[in-house]
């Protein structure tokens, strides 16, 4: 496996893991806000947690970024770009 291939596969896996982490932290904070355990001023915490949850969802639903695969940019622009794995963007 070449260095570029390993790098972009790892990049996509880490993006998914960070997305899951953002969702978990955001949902935990939202639970704290709505259960009343957040304290006196929870509007800022509500905004931050909603932003973290939204960022995590966007990270999970983003297309895998793989410029090391031949024809990636043409396929990236098209909606019918072929089958790729969700975690790493490897062609199936």
Q: Can you give the pTM of this predicted structure?
A: 0.72
Task: Read off the pLDDT of each residue in 47-65 and give the average, rounded to a whole number.
Answer: 90
Please indicate, yes or no, if residue 87 is contained in any of the structural domains: no
Residue 62's alpha-carbon distances to 30, 51, 81, in angstroms, are 23, 16, 14
Please indicate, yes or no, if residue 63 is contained in any of the structural domains: yes
Domain span at 37: 3-77
Give residue-wise pLDDT tens across range 7-52.
888 888 899 999 999 999 999 988 888 887 767 677 888 899 999 9
18 neighbors 59 (Cβ within 8 angstroms): yes
* C-alpha closest to that of 87 among 2, 10, 25, 22: 10
Please indicate, yes or no, if residue 12 is contained in any of the structural domains: yes
The total number of structural domains in the chain stands at 1
88 neighbors 13 (Cβ within 8 angstroms): yes
Q: Report the alpha-carbon distance of residue 12 to residue 60 in Å, rounded.
A: 10
DSSP 69: S
């Amino acid at each position: 496996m070449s260095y570029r291939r390993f790098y972009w596969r790892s990049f996509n896996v880490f993006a998914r893991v960070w997305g899951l982490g953002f969702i978990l932290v955001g949902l935990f904070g939202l639970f704290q806000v709505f259960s009343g355990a957040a304290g006196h001023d929870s509007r800022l915490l509500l905004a931050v947690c909603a932003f973290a949850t939204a960022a995590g969802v966007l990270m999970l639903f983003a297309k895998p970024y793989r410029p090391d695969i031949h024809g990636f940019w043409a396929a990236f622009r098209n909606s019918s770009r072929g089958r790729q794995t969700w975690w790493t963007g490897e062609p199936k």
